[in-house]
Structure 1
Amino acid sequence: MSQRSRTEESSREGGATMATGMLRVVGRLRDILIKAIETDEGDVREEILNDLLSDVCSPIEEEVRHTGELKEYGEECRYYYEAISMFVVKEKDGLEFTKSLVTLFTCLWDVWEVRCTYALTMHRWLFRNNFEEHSLKSMMVMIKGANSLFWSDVNALSELYRPLFVFLISQLTNQEDCLGDMDTAVYADLLKLASRFICYYDLSGCEASHLQDLSTFISMIHSSQWFHRTCDEDESSSMGLNEGSSGCVIEPASIVVMEIVHQLNSICIEEALCRYVEGVSSLKPELVNCLDWQTRIKLQGILHGLGSPGGPLYPPRPVRVRARRTMDFLFPRGRHGRRLVNLTFRLLHPYRWPMSLAHWITVQLPREVWAKAHEILPTGVSTRIASAATSSHQLAVKIVQVPSKVWRLIFRS
């Protein structure tokens, strides 16, 4: 046997092994769905489907990733749901399995775990095939499942489902010709879904890293093929996707910003709020001026609420600092008046002075000095200074907390 023949045979054997491995994974997924359908007890069914979702979200083991039967997908994918979603659109056997899987999924769509599993494993298949072949219900179930998954990431401060989010926003901003026509309602829900979580996920290091900037994301949405096809289908849509008469990208920006405002009102986790407020600062002030007046007022109102101590939002200090900084950047007009009002209320609450003084000494002043010194000092020296500054800030906060509480009790009594 020649060297070329041996190489071709080895390649075919490797492809067959890989396909067999993925068929085994997808076959197990199908068997679990059948078992859940045949189970009459609701608690047992819920436990089975919950275990299925956990298995699908499990990371691919290292030995399987590099040397096992999933080698081809393991190098590209980190989690099993990524490999399954790629297999059902790339391989012929995967396409045949998909028909039976979709039939099983439809029997359990009312279950939360099934909607999430459906979104994780079938999102590529829904986009790569013609949209006319799928019902509106299928896309809506996928969107609902993805929304639940992204919220679970926010509540857990994780990025387990970031690959799914990256795929969705990449499809929304697709500049190439579309494979099919998307329904207007589906496009609206997808755009709102992406807008809600684009400020949370860290897109650096992936193919959608340029979309981390909100202004870039909005402009690419406006120039995408999906957007133009949707507008052509329904020019009088109540969704508001048409460009305003002023020439600014008003409607897409308003939709994105309004969803972010809703998220800022809903999130109760400090670190997630800090991510969102930092993400809003990537908007350009001129784009904010092009927003419709309702969206602009709501954005200004939520930033003002997050930048003010006390009710109704009661934001922690890191959120207040970032919100005031973002407010001054996006709405520079009136920033001096806002600072004067903020200073006046600080004078009326003297028990907060120690914390404010400690924050200015350990955070604001070193930040200004650090910005100047970083340009001069070598990298190793600057790193050691940064770690020392962080330690001193943590120590100062702990020291100041005790007298601050005492002062609060004295002045309130």
Structure 2
Amino acid sequence: MRSRSSTDRLEALSLEIERKLQKALSSNSQRLQILQQLFADIALKVDDRARDAIMSENDDGIAPVDEREDGRLCFYEILANHFVRVPESGRRILELIVQLWSQSFASNIFALLFHKWLFEAPLDGKEISLRYSSALVQGATNVFWIDIQTNTRHFLSLYHYLLEDVALIPDRLTKISLQVQKLKIEPVLLHYLSCMSILQGLELRLSTSTRLKACLYSFTSPGGLTYPTRAVRHAAWNTLDLLFPVGRYPRHVISLFFRLLYPWYWPSSCWNFVGTCAMTIYYYILNLLVSTWESLRRHSHRRTHSE
């Protein structure tokens, strides 16, 4: 009985969202204000009384309030689960959002309400999936910056779902090595390699682990213009050693042995080594001077106070 009652209340909330979207579509002068208010409404915290009224026993995709860092449960989390269980309930809302695509807050509302539906409900075609995915990326980026600028975590469950239930599931991890090999722009590749540290500690499939090792190792080879730059090689080594610490030293020894077979790489390698050592010594001496100066200054300050 409670489950049926909660479903009815969620349907009523869906109708209210649909009504506001209809109003935004028909009112040019107040469209932005209506969409902004709707976005604020679905991001509101659910109080205890409302939570008991609209949550059902089937909401297993929502973390309990007592397990949350901020103890906050928002309306969009419950509605996102509802639209996965009852896709027909959100179909009209989705059609209205599509008509408001170019408006501010439309992608934000889509990302909050349909981020689970996009990955768990069947879609009609690849083109539609691409359009919705673009809107999700834009909306998730927008709400991310809203949290950053307001120093809050209202949309943490959205990021957690996209990371834990979308990006890091085994079937999707198999595509990482293919994606990395397609990257040709150095800053993008460096950023991608640095972000791969999140895979540390995950139990990867043997095939995925083997492909990823081979992919990262391919970025460690020096060479001509078509080979990875020095920055990429070092980033690849760091990522490889972080994700696969077993066999770290043998890998470096083997790499050094193969580099010795190509004498034309020796001058650049020696120059980089000397430059790195010089910079290390310079910063060490600078840090030593600064720490000595701070120590003398504190000692003089204490002696002055004691006198």
TM-score by length of 1: 0.45
- Please list every run of 5 or more consecutive structure 1 residues that lacks an aligned counterpart in the other structure: 1-12, 179-183, 200-210, 232-240, 262-282, 291-330, 359-398, 401-413
Distance 2:240 2:38 in 1: 46
The aligned amino acid for 2:242 is: L
Distance 2:76 2:131 in 1: 21
Aligned pairs for 1:276-287 (under 5 A) are 286-287=241-242
1:310 corresponds to which residue? none
For the structure 1 residues 346 and 222, does the alpha-carbon distance in structure 2 shift closer, same or farther, using more than 3 Å as the test? farther
Distance 1:114 1:222 in 2: 42
The CA deviation string for residues 272-327 of structure 1, in whole angstroms up to 9 with x for no partner, is: xxxxxxxxxxx87823999xxxxxxxxxxxxxxxxxxxxxxxxxxxxxxxxxxxxx
Distance 1:65 1:332 in 2: 61
Distance 1:32 1:19 in 2: 20
For the structure 1 residues 157 and 73, does the alpha-carbon distance in structure 2 shift closer, same or farther, using more than 3 Å as the test? farther
Aligned pairs for 1:174-185 (under 5 A) are 174-175=169-170
Aligned counterpart in structure 2 of residue 214 of structure 1, from 182, 198, 206: 198
Distance 1:51 1:337 in 2: 56
Kept after mapping to 1: 8 A contact 2:170/2:205:
no
2:83 corresponds to which residue? 88
CA shift, 1:120, in A, is: 0.5
Q: What is the root-mean-square deviation of aligned Cα atoms in Å? A: 4.8
Aligned counterpart in structure 2 of residue 58 of structure 1, from 41, 44, 50: 44
2:54 corresponds to which residue? 69
Distance 2:55 2:277 in 1: 54
Aligned pairs for 1:110-121 (under 5 A) are 110-121=102-113
Distance 2:243 2:172 in 1: 30
Kept after mapping to 2: 8 A contact 1:116/1:148:
yes
Kept after mapping to 1: 8 A contact 2:3/2:56:
no
**SS state of the match for residue 112, structure 1?**
coil
Aligned counterpart in structure 2 of residue 244 of structure 1, from 210, 215, 228: 215
1:32 corresponds to which residue? 20
Aligned counterpart in structure 1 of residue 159 of structure 2, from 146, 165, 168: 165
Distance 1:98 1:217 in 2: 38
2:69 corresponds to which residue? none
Kept after mapping to 2: 8 A contact 1:88/1:125:
yes
For the structure 1 residues 69 and 123, does the alpha-carbon distance in structure 2 shift closer, same or farther, using more than 3 Å as the test? closer
Kept after mapping to 2: 8 A contact 1:73/1:83:
no
Aligned pairs for 1:301-312 (under 5 A) are none
For the structure 1 residues 140 and 338, does the alpha-carbon distance in structure 2 shift closer, same or farther, using more than 3 Å as the test? same
For the structure 1 residues 105 and 223, does the alpha-carbon distance in structure 2 shift closer, same or farther, using more than 3 Å as the test? farther
The CA deviation string for residues 60-85 of structure 1, in whole angstroms up to 9 with x for no partner, is: 1111223x233447883611100011
Distance 2:135 2:285 in 1: 50
2:149 corresponds to which residue? 155
The aligned amino acid for 2:285 is: L
Distance 2:136 2:105 in 1: 12
The aligned amino acid for 1:90 is: R
CA shift, 1:58, in A, is: 0.6
Distance 1:83 1:284 in 2: 38
- Please list every run of 5 or more consecutive structure 2 residues that lacks an aligned counterpart in the other structure: 64-72, 174-178, 222-227, 246-275, 303-307
Aligned counterpart in structure 2 of residue 124 of structure 1, from 116, 121, 129: 116
TM-score by length of 2: 0.59
The total of aligned residue pairs comes to 232
Aligned pairs for 1:331-350 (under 5 A) are 337-344=282-289
Kept after mapping to 2: 8 A contact 1:243/1:249:
no
Distance 1:83 1:99 in 2: 16
2:137 corresponds to which residue? 143
For the structure 1 residues 244 and 153, does the alpha-carbon distance in structure 2 shift closer, same or farther, using more than 3 Å as the test? same
2:176 corresponds to which residue? none
For the structure 1 residues 177 and 145, does the alpha-carbon distance in structure 2 shift closer, same or farther, using more than 3 Å as the test? closer
2:272 corresponds to which residue? none
Identity of aligned residues (%): 17
Kept after mapping to 2: 8 A contact 1:65/1:74:
no
CA shift, 1:345, in A, is: 5.6
For the structure 1 residues 148 and 168, does the alpha-carbon distance in structure 2 shift closer, same or farther, using more than 3 Å as the test? same
Kept after mapping to 1: 8 A contact 2:14/2:90:
no
Distance 1:221 1:117 in 2: 36
Aligned pairs for 1:181-330 (under 5 A) are 214-216=198-200, 243-244=214-215, 246=217, 286-287=241-242
The aligned amino acid for 1:14 is: R
**SS state of the match for residue 246, structure 1?**
helix
For the structure 1 residues 284 and 243, does the alpha-carbon distance in structure 2 shift closer, same or farther, using more than 3 Å as the test? closer
2:68 corresponds to which residue? none
**SS state of the match for residue 100, structure 2?**
coil
The aligned amino acid for 1:85 is: A
